[in-house]
């Protein structure tokens, strides 16, 4: 999945997940009367679990293996549910405590509660994967999404309004949280990969973990399958983020090897922005947000054979020698010694015979 689609689908799936959560909450917990503290915490727990699960599935679409996707479900269900319950509980307490001050203060308490729900939804995936940067970016996006969505929720409806207003408010909340979480992950990314050629070109993967493994394994975040990957290892190469912030790649002792810009690597190699990584018939472009030093690369279209070099060999350079080698003299021109007689009109004397002119011999070669 491309990074632009990540933002789009995060918004769409967040809205649909919130709508499904509203349906469940409307059926089980919501009614004409305003719910109490416990029921409010249960409603927000359902909303948090639903949105977090949907966004987690969107993030995992770089790997289309359903077994791996199902293995990711417990974390967002539990984390989103607990965060939603905490946000709903705190928000409801603040809402009740500030209601006597003013409606504006009560609305701030409600918005704060939805902000906590957004923080929990945004941070659960990074916490599950053990990625500090993904956790940080998720918190930023989720907090901003919960803040915006909570404010819009307060403008559109409260629990005492009609069913349609509540449904609209839940959907707007889900879209806000989903869109801003996806946007934060894209905008704040440090490095990412793009499949330029091979299996499913156009896929992109944000390098949010310390070690990212590339290969044809089903368990990998972006597996390389298909005919172009038939000779790859399950774990073919590793990209590691160094403590200094650089990214290096190392072949995992594979038979086929790993190439960077057409050269096969023999050990860890630091990646530069725009480098092309070839794994069998797959070409993956590495990009760095800071830009960094950019190596000269050749476009993928210039590669005639899968598995061959990416760059063309440099043209041969001719260096003049200090002792030139003498060349043989050209052969003398061929001279015709005879010439066909010319026709003489009757009554005129015949012309004297012509003597052929022989050119002098060429000078001897100097050496």
Ordered by where they begin, the domains of the chain are: 3-187 (no CATH), 191-302 (2.60.200.20)
**The predicted structure's pLDDT at residue 332:** 54
Greater pLDDT, 265 or 74: 265
Burial of 330 (0-12, 13-18, 19+ CB in 10 A): exposed
Provide mean pLDDT across the span 295-310: 43
Report CA-CA distances (Å) from 312 to 285, 298, 308, 361: 18, 8, 10, 49
Spatial contact of 156 and 246, defined as CB atoms under 8 Å apart: no
pLDDT at position 352 over 80: no
Q: Is the pLDDT of residue 208 over 60?
A: yes
Question: Worst-scoring range by mean pLDDT, 154-158, 167-171, 191-195, 281-285?
Answer: 154-158
- CB neighbours of residue 84 within 10 Å: 30
Query: What does pTM read for this prediction?
Result: 0.71
Q: 303 or 26, which is more confident?
A: 26
Q: Would you give the DSSP letter of residue 304?
A: -
What's the chain's average pLDDT? Answer: 79
Element (H, E) at 206: strand 204-206
Query: Percent of the chain, pLDDT > 90?
Result: 33
Confidence of residue 312 (pLDDT cuts 50, 70, 90): very low
Query: Which of 84-88, 265-269, 349-353 has the highest average model confidence (pLDDT)?
Result: 265-269
Mean pLDDT of all residues in 145-152: 90
| Model pLDDT for residues 221-248, shown as the tens digit of each residue | 888 988 888 889 999 999 999 988 899 9
Query: Is pLDDT of 360 > 50?
Result: yes
Q: Which residues contact 291 (CB under 8 A, 6 or more apart)?
A: 273
Query: How many C-beta atoms surround the C-beta of residue 58 within 10 A?
Result: 23
| Structure confidence at residue 237 (pLDDT) | 96
Q: DSSP string of 45-62? A: HHHHHHHHHHHHHHHGGG
């Amino acid at each position: 999945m491309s990074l632009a689609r990540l933002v789009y689908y995060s918004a769409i799936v967040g809205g649909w997940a919130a709508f499904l959560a509203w349906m469940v909450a409307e059926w089980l917990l919501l009614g004409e009367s305003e719910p109490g503290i416990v029921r409010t915490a249960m409603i927000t727990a359902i909303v948090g679990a639903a949105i977090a699960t949907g966004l987690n599935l969107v993030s995992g679409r770089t790997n289309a293996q359903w077994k791996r996707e199902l293995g990711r479900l417990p974390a967002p269900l539990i984390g989103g549910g607990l965060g939603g319950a905490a946000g709903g509980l705190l928000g409801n307490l603040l809402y009740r405590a500030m209601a006597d001050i003013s409606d504006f203060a009560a609305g701030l308490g409600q918005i704060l509660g939805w902000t906590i729900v957004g923080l929990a939804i945004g941070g659960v995936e990074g916490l599950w994967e053990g990625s500090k940067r993904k956790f940080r970016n998720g918190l930023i996006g989720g907090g901003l999404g919960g803040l915006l969505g909570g404010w819009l929720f307060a403008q559109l409806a409260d629990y005492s309004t009609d069913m349609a207003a509540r449904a609209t408010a839940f959907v707007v909340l889900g879209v806000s949280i989903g869109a801003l979480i996806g946007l934060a992950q894209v905008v704040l990314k440090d490095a990412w990969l793009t499949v330029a050629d091979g299996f499913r070109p156009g896929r992109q993967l944000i390098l949010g973990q310390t070690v990212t493994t590339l290969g044809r394994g089903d368990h990998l975040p972006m597996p390389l399958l298909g005919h172009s990957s038939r000779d790859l290892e399950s774990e073919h190469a590793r990209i590691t983020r160094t403590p200094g912030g650089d990214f290096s790649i190392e072949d995992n002792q594979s038979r086929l090897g790993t190439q960077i810009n057409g050269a096969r690597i023999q050990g860890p190699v630091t990646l530069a922005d725009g480098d092309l990584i070839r794994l069998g018939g797959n070409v993956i472009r590495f990009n760095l947000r800071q830009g960094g030093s950019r190596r000269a690369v050749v476009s993928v279209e210039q590669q005639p054979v899968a598995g061959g070099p990416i760059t063309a060999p440099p043209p041969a350079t001719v260096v003049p020698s200090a002792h030139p080698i003498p060349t043989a003299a050209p052969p003398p021109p061929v001279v015709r010694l005879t010439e066909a007689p010319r026709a003489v009109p009757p009554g005129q004397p015949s012309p004297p015979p012509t003597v052929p002119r022989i050119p002098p011999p060429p000078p001897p070669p100097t050496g």
